[in-house]
Structure 1
Amino acid sequence: MTSGRLYGDAAHDHDHRFRCVSLVPLFAALSEKDRHRIAESSVTRRYERGEHVFRAGERLDLHIVHRGRVKVYRLLESGSEQLIRILGAGEFLGETAVLSETEVDHFAVALDDAEVCSIDRRRILAVLTERPSVAVTMLQTVSQRLSAAEQMVSSLTGRSVEQRLAEHLLQLAYDADSLRFRLPSSKKDLASYLGTTAETLSRRLSALQKSGAIRLGPGRFVEICDEQVLRSGADAD
């Protein structure tokens, strides 16, 4: 069941949806005319913080985050959440359900007040048929996400919490292209992603700060002060 509130009047909404579609690297190679066609078959909804974009068991269209952040997670048998990823502006979700016609087995919830463009599944399939380059780009994204998931599973079974945390902080710095960055999620969600508890994560972060590897700042900011020390923690056996 789709939630959220539809965005704006028809004329303004089309321009907004077009900007949303144009944000996505997936559609970067398409002509302006093709992007307008995609925008015509999409809708934009606003979600308040904590509101679900979709729930497990639904059949999905393709969703593009236009503003804010969206958390994707699964519910474990214990009832706790397992974070899968956090998406920001220009990133999309629902591609697996679109391609396989299956119901999703995970949830998506707005971490902030967010706007999400949803593109009709039939339109996306038509675009993939008409524009093989878009299909290739989508498959590359799916492959990268699968690879990241496989690496995380391998890390959870063969690496310590300290190693997983150090690796993750180094990856966040790489993604931000800066040694100073903001953790994209709460400590609770980060702990879930790394397969530990929030209490253990807090202790490990404090230990890294005491070692001089990082400095913790307000607003979830982290600065890597000694990359070599952090890498040695990530590479430790």
Structure 2
Amino acid sequence: MAKPVGRTKFIPIKEVSKVDHKSDSVRANGFLISVFCYRKILLTSMLDSKININMHTTGQIEIPLSKSKMTLMFIGSLAFVVTGFLLVFSPGITIGGKFYNSTIIFITGIVAILFFGACAIMIFNKLRDNKAGLIINKTGIIDNSSGISAGHIPWTDIIEITTLDIVNQRFLMIVIDNPNHYIQRQKNPLKRKAAEINFKNYGSPISISANALKLNFNELEILLQTQLSNNKLQ
């Protein structure tokens, strides 16, 4: 026997609008979640292409040193050293219509030789370093990114991370609550003096740049700021 046809249920207009409103809200929330997840996947894949990540075991992030960047810096430092020697043996030079005597040129040459010679030595030593340039884990940051690296910096020591621009060079200043500890930790007198100058002029003895790392400055800044926020909340 045929079953009776059920009655058609009419939904009032007000209820229909509520249902549509809820559906739109659900769709909007779903879209925002999808965008957020896509952004997270995109950022992770971008970093993963340049950073050694071992999230499954220790959650540690390792950023390698860039040999190609350091090689270019080494060549540049040697070029300035050669220029310094040329200035030392120069009787004088005219720049922009103004003549600089041999004494001024000699002093400038000596300064160039000493400063860029020291830079060349530090870069050369760093070229032979096979350790990661920067390590980020649950305890803090391990800085090995330059010739005056700070070593291990616990999250508990870090107050904030700020950006510093000096002559078209960008640095992340790691502002800490115990700067003297990190200054005295530098065993080399020249490195200790450099840390003191950093603290006096820029508010922290610790500066990190992307100059010798296998990622750019913006990626480094996003990564460190995100990791600082996440670990400060724990």
TM-score > 0.5, shorter chain as reference: no
Normalising by structure 2, report the TM-score.
0.27
Say which one has the larger Rg: 2
TM-score (norm 1): 0.27
